[in-house]
Structure 1
Amino acid sequence: MSRTAEIDLTFEYPATVAGVLSVLAGHGWGPVEPLGVSYMLEGDDDWDWTSVEPEQAAKVVAMLDSDEVREQAVAIALYHPQAATGGHLLLRRDRTTAGFSPVVDRRKVPGAPEMTDMVWYVQNLVYPLLEGGLLGYELRDMAD
């Protein structure tokens, strides 16, 4: 049995990748994860992740926030090196809704390792986003 964990986020105004990263940087998060900087653009029929060297992080963020992709959903991997965990942040087309999936070395609940430690993600990801115009969130950790 596998599990899917996700945090749905709703912002007061359209969010940008740069804005989210700016808020989260002060709380230990960044775009450099073990594979480098991983990102994704909404394609015609598929979503393909691309990884680049860490030195290209600013270029990737600028591209994800550019006018050329404003009508597309975009995603970037976020990583918290001190906690050795991360996940994928997806900004949907409207940019006021987003999702975070803790898929990079997901934190687990002690005593119930099949479950995600959603409390940790709320404290370390969701609460900081209140500084960035977060209006609400919804958590899911479900067996598939």
Structure 2
Amino acid sequence: MSRDIMISLQFEHDVDFEEVLERLAKTGWEFVREENSLWYMTDFDWKELPLDGLTQAKLDMRAAYEAGETTGMTVRLPGGEFYANVMFHEDRRSVSLIPLLDYRTIERSPEFVDLGWYLENFRRPFRDFTILSTEASDHR
């Protein structure tokens, strides 16, 4: 059985993916999928680079982003236990967080993903942005 979990933020103005990545980094997010590599996406094709390849990943993402494609990067959330994909959409006003397996769950109800925790961590770097809407979903 598949499970789709996503949190989306819709901003009032365009946001650049590099600004989003910078804000995430300043609040403790890391661009790592495995201890020695990072993963990023252009045109729905995931790629892997060594950790020192962040500059190259951003260049590839920039070319795709400017061509109007969705781009993304795998991140480790603050605390180091949980991973997610951050997706930057073509409209340039929406960004999504897609938690990866081994989700953080609600302690007293472990069958439920702790969407509030993910949402709080995802919104924190953008408190000074006008966010028009947030959406969180967990479909099983």
TM-score (norm 2): 0.85
State the distance in 2 between where 1:65 and 1:132 align: 22
- Match in the other structure for 1:13: 13
Structure 1: segments with no counterpart, 5+ residues:
none
Question: Superposed, which structure 2 residues align to 1:63-102 within 5 Å?
Answer: 63-66=60-63, 69-70=65-66, 71-80=68-77, 82-102=79-99
Alpha carbons 2:65, 2:90 under 8 Å: kept: no
Size of the aligned set, in residue pairs, is: 138
Deviation at 1:48, TM superposition (A): 2.5
Percent of residue pairs bearing the same amino acid type: 25
> Is residue 2:46 matched to residue 1:41?
no
Deviation at 1:139, TM superposition (A): 0.8
TM-score (norm 1): 0.82
State the distance in 2 between where 1:104 and 1:29 align: 17
Structure 2: segments with no counterpart, 5+ residues:
none
> Is residue 2:52 matched to residue 1:51?
no
State the distance in 2 between where 1:21 and 1:99 align: 12
- TM-aligned CA distance change 1:61 to 1:132, over 3 Å: farther
Deviation at 1:2, TM superposition (A): 4.0
SS of the residue corresponding to residue 138 of structure 1 reads strand
SS of the residue corresponding to residue 95 of structure 1 reads coil
Instruction: Select the residue among 85, 100, 104 that pairs with 1:103.
Output: 100
